């Protein structure tokens, strides 16, 4: 691309239309206690996971009053049907020919813990973006927000992911 062919904006009409709109609704199967235990074992291997994740008697005496899942537990980890993204573009970024992208990181905030029997609902939205010129040229920083809630509507987790396209 020559300097005469510079792109004026990386913001697509699709992005404009999707900004702030919650989508990609997913509902997990009920969380099984064995899922929590297996996740904890795998996460802490080869060490023994904290008893809060597998020992009923111990967990009863904690402020949680029972077994809870580790914060990184993912009830969507083993889907039967796997949703595909068109063109391989990161969720919420759109697809601008001739651009490159990278992961700008993510921040997670945790609410109530997940427990056996919980059904988690996930949804995502393109939260916002900032476009500016960097040493890479025209660069788009976009934030995608993911939210998980349990069957009682309580917030379990939010994740803000930053995507970078240039």
Q: Give the closest residue to 28 by CA, choosing from 64, 67, 68, 73.
A: 73
Tokens at 68, concatenated: 């809870």
**SS3 assignment, position 57:** helix
* Contact (CB, 8 A) for 43 and 72: yes
Note the pTM of the prediction, 2 decimals: 0.80
Residues 6+ apart with CB under 8 A from 34: none
- Tens digit of each residue's pLDDT (9 = 90 or more) over 27-70: 999 999 999 999 999 999 999 999 999 999 999 999 999 999 99
Portions of the chain given CATH number 3.10.129: 1-30+90-166
Using an 8 Å Cβ cutoff, are 74 and 113 in contact? Answer: no
Beta bridge partners of 140: 131, 165
Confidence of residue 4 (pLDDT cuts 50, 70, 90): very low
**Fold of domain 1-30+90-166:** Thiol Ester Dehydrase; Chain A (3.10.129)
């Amino acid at each position: 691309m020559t300097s005469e062919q510079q792109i004026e904006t990386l913001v697509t009409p699709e992005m404009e239309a999707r900004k702030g709109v919650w989508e990609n609704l997913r509902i997990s199967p009920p969380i099984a206690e064995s899922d929590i235990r297996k996740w904890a074992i795998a996460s802490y291997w080869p060490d023994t996971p904290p008893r809060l994740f597998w020992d009923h008697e111990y967990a009863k005496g904690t402020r949680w009053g029972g077994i809870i899942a580790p914060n990184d537990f993912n009830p969507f980890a083993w889907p039967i049907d796997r949703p595909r993204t068109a063109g391989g573009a990161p969720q919420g970024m759109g697809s601008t020919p001739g651009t490159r992208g990278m992961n700008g990181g993510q921040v997670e905030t945790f609410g109530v813990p997940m427990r056996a029997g919980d059904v988690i609902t996930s949804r995502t939205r393109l939260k916002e973006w900032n476009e500016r010129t960097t040493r890479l040229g025209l660069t788009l920083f976009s934030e995608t927000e993911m939210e998980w809630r349990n069957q009682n509507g309580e917030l379990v987790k939010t994740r803000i992911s930053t995507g970078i396209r240039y």
